[in-house]
Chain A
Amino acid sequence: MKPHDPECMDIFARLSEYLDGELSPEECAHFEKHIEGCAPCVEFVNSLKKSIQAAHGFHSPAAPEHVAPEAESRLKEAWAAALARRRES
């Protein structure tokens, strides 16, 4: 990813669209042709992919694993009432 190379800058600006499959096949092919021959771009693309992958698997250790029994009872009552309305309608 060279700072003054217009093709590198284009990839830098649209890399997420490329990684998310949101570019046209022609644009995709154009990107890939450039990336194949540009080591800095390869490294940048790989590092961004890893960063996205890390976010995909993120789970905060602070998040509770279980629901309090009292809260679960109230939720079950609400669910049962909603199902009853659904059957009546």
Chain B
Amino acid sequence: MDHHPDSAPGRPEAPEVAWARRLLAGDPSAFTPFVESFQARIFQYTWLMCGQREDAEEVAQETLMRVFESFDQLRDPAQVKAWVFRIAKNYCLMKRRKSVFAPARELSLDELHPDHDGDGFTLQVADEGERPDAAVLRGELGERLETALRALPDTYRSVVLLRDVEELSTAETASILDISEDNVKQRLHRGRLALRRELAGYLEAVP
């Protein structure tokens, strides 16, 4: 059972699905929004997975070229996002194989528990006296989130990026990464817990 928002019945069609339908029908007005949307998404995914701007730009270009070269093979426009990200993931992996890998690191539930290292369950800003106002905290949340995403071990980061940033379903993420749905759920939960811990303080400013 998966009640992820994208898979919920009755929800309006995602923009990229509508663009894909129109592109399959030959509608040129869907071309630019489709390309710009996916270029930004693929760049962001690769940028956060590889860490190199040049690699992210190349992967976005290579992925989009591959997508359009094989656009006649897109059978179900509803699956376009997962299809594009499967291609992007493969190009991203090729880039990463050319670079030095950090050894895989596991996050245990114990180390992520709020009481680990005396963290406490309450989100805290270090010093109340130096606490910035809510608007500043909200503005900094994006930067802090990007830093926290980069700090996640690869196996967790790839799942969090696909499930929570791109809002793909558990099944789609499992298919893209060639891992089981149980593995997606486990990595997602630990990745989320790690992000929550890193964002401590900044989340208080979010209503």
Contact of A81 among B69, B145, B196, B203 (CB under 8 A): B69
**A29 CB within 8 Å of chain B:** no
With both chains docked as a complex, state the minimum distance between the C-beta of A68 and any C-beta of chain B, in angstroms: 9
With both chains docked as a complex, state the minimum distance between the C-beta of A53 and any C-beta of chain B, in angstroms: 7
Q: Do A47 and B203 contact each other (CB < 8 Å), given the known contacts A52-B192, A86-B24?
A: yes
A47 CB contacts on chain B under 8 angstroms? 123, 196, 203
With both chains docked as a complex, state the minimum distance between the C-beta of A5 and any C-beta of chain B, in angstroms: 11
**How many of B's residues come within 8 Å of A, CB to CB?**
57
Contact of B141 among A1, A40, A54 (CB under 8 A): A54
Q: Measured between alpha carbons, how far is A43 from B65 in the docked complex, in Å?
A: 46
**A21 CB within 8 Å of chain B:** yes
**B176 CB within 8 Å of chain A:** no
With both chains docked as a complex, state the minimum distance between the C-beta of A74 and any C-beta of chain B, in angstroms: 7
**B107 CB within 8 Å of chain A:** no
Question: Which positions 18-39 of chain B face chain A at CB distance < 8 Å?
Answer: 23-24, 26, 31-32, 35-36, 39
Q: Do A22 and B44 contact each other (CB < 8 Å), given the known contacts A3-B113, A51-B195, A52-B192?
A: no
Complex contact A51–B203 (CB within 8 A) = yes
A residues neighboring B (CB under 8 Å): 1, 3, 12-17, 20-22, 40, 43-44, 47-48, 50-56, 58-67, 71-72, 74-76, 78-79, 81-83, 85-86, 89
A16 CB contacts on chain B under 8 angstroms? 185, 188-189, 192
A85 CB contacts on chain B under 8 angstroms? 72
**B61 CB within 8 Å of chain A:** yes
Secondary structure class of chain B's binding surface, majority of residues: helix
Complex contact A79–B193 (CB within 8 A) = no
Binds A, one of B1-9, B78-86, B88-96: B1-9
Q: Measured between alpha carbons, how far is A64 from B172 in the docked complex, in Å?
A: 25
A-B contact count (CB 8 A): 141
**B167 CB within 8 Å of chain A:** yes
Complex contact B64–A1 (CB within 8 A) = no
Binds A, one of B97-105, B114-122, B126-134: B114-122
B4 CB contacts on chain A under 8 angstroms? 20-21
Contact of A64 among B26, B57, B70, B142 (CB under 8 A): B57
Complex contact B1–A21 (CB within 8 A) = yes
Complex contact B69–A82 (CB within 8 A) = yes
A76 CB contacts on chain B under 8 angstroms? 31, 68
Q: Measured between alpha carbons, how far is A64 from B203 in the docked complex, in Å?
A: 27
Complex contact B31–A79 (CB within 8 A) = yes
With both chains docked as a complex, state the minimum distance between the C-beta of B134 and any C-beta of chain A, in angstroms: 13
Q: Measured between alpha carbons, how far is A63 from B40 in the docked complex, in Å?
A: 5
Complex contact B61–A71 (CB within 8 A) = yes
**B47 CB within 8 Å of chain A:** yes
Complex contact A66–B31 (CB within 8 A) = no
